[in-house]
Structure 1
């Protein structure tokens, strides 16, 4: 399913920000370049944005900009992921995950030492699905195995995580964003999660925890 788009004019009218602010935030990497989508319209070329993403981002910027400089905000939204390394204790102290999710992850992955970003993301997804009640502890272990074995293959490309169930049996699927997939009537799609969106949430949480 494609993201609903909003035009630049609609965005400026709805949020009350100026043209100058919007492009200054773009230059400072507070708003990703790929969110500026050029499309043909009856007036010529017009700029559109993924509606939910841009409105959420602008709301965060407006709420945080009084306490942080634009450069500091850029670090919050786009921390250097390769340099991120946190211990299990830091993950708990920053409230990124709970001890329950961390324990399930450690038992399933047998991970030792510090957590780089990709590993933190796995625990974060596990935490989210355990907290929502969408998965059991046993399914959590299956989730960890799926992310550990297959998520690196996407190498930074956006993908979606699906949890399906049939007759009580769960299966996790990682697939390219917006891929079409069909199931028989006995299959229930329990979770469909954008890994890019979860990554964005995690980056914000790590940035806020580093204040």
Structure 2
């Protein structure tokens, strides 16, 4: 997937006014996903960075909701896939949440007033991002959507990652629990690794 703007831990704490202790307490309570803590080498040594847009939106939500909810209740509320929203097909296209190319290829039989649940929109959104990044073609998109529909529900809301590999031109998609360390045979090219929880968060930002 395409690059994202990062924010350093130091800048994040200064910008939001939260403490180091709060940040790591929220991480322990799973209010902030583990995979948002990105370790990078800098000229001063190892530093921690975050996806800027996602972390700022998440901290704003935590601060605004923590007066009324316990941290455990907040964790349930902020689970990436628990988003109670249905959207009509024509609204998805009008708001450019998913491109018309994807909708015409993968949802052509659905009338304009068809209502999609958040999970269905997420699958189309992931396919759209990979197509726009040039990582896959439309035929591979068919395979991707069938894998997501069949296997994503088995994770029951737990963090998982989409792995897309090719070997000798043959595409293979897999869903794995996170964090996962994967090793492939020689000749297999990892085309994309997509954390689905992060995609869900980005989609939520587009929908709100």
Q: Using structure 2 for the length normalisation, give the TM-score.
A: 0.68
CA distance in structure 2 between the partners assigned to 1:155 and 1:116 by the alignment: 16
SS in 1 for 2:182: coil
Offset from partner CA, 1:5-34 (integer Å, 9 cap, x none): xxxxx84566424237x96x9xxx9x9942
Q: CA deviation at 1:127?
A: 0.6
After TM superposition, the structure 1 = structure 2 runs for residues 126-205 of structure 1, keeping only pairs within 5 Å, are 126-205=127-206
Q: How many residues align?
A: 173
Q: CA deviation at 1:53?
A: 3.4
Q: 2:14 aligns with which of 9, 13, 16?
A: 16
After TM superposition, the structure 1 = structure 2 runs for residues 1-211 of structure 1, keeping only pairs within 5 Å, are 11=9, 15-17=13-15, 18-19=17-18, 33-35=29-31, 50=37, 51-53=48-50, 55-60=52-57, 70=64, 81-106=82-107, 113-207=114-208
Q: CA deviation at 1:54?
A: 6.5
Q: Which runs of 5+ in 2 are unaligned?
A: 1-7, 38-47, 66-73
* C-alpha contact (below 8 Å) 1:12/1:19 kept by paired residues: no
* C-alpha contact (below 8 Å) 1:166/1:188 kept by paired residues: yes
CA distance in structure 2 between the partners assigned to 1:61 and 1:197 by the alignment: 12
Closer, same or farther in 2 for the Cα pair 1:84/1:187, shift >3 Å?
A: same
CA distance in structure 2 between the partners assigned to 1:160 and 1:80 by the alignment: 13
Q: CA deviation at 1:105?
A: 2.2
* C-alpha contact (below 8 Å) 1:82/1:116 kept by paired residues: no
Offset from partner CA, 1:79-134 (integer Å, 9 cap, x none): 99453100111111121111111122226xx6673100110000000110111110
Structure showing the higher helix proportion among its residues = 1
Larger radius of gyration: 1
RMSD across aligned positions (CA): 3.7
Moved more, 184-193 or 49-58: 49-58
* C-alpha contact (below 8 Å) 2:160/2:175 kept by paired residues: yes
CA distance in structure 2 between the partners assigned to 1:144 and 1:117 by the alignment: 15
Q: Using structure 1 for the length normalisation, give the TM-score.
A: 0.67
CA distance in structure 1 between the partners assigned to 2:81 and 2:170 by the alignment: 39
SS in 2 for 1:90: helix
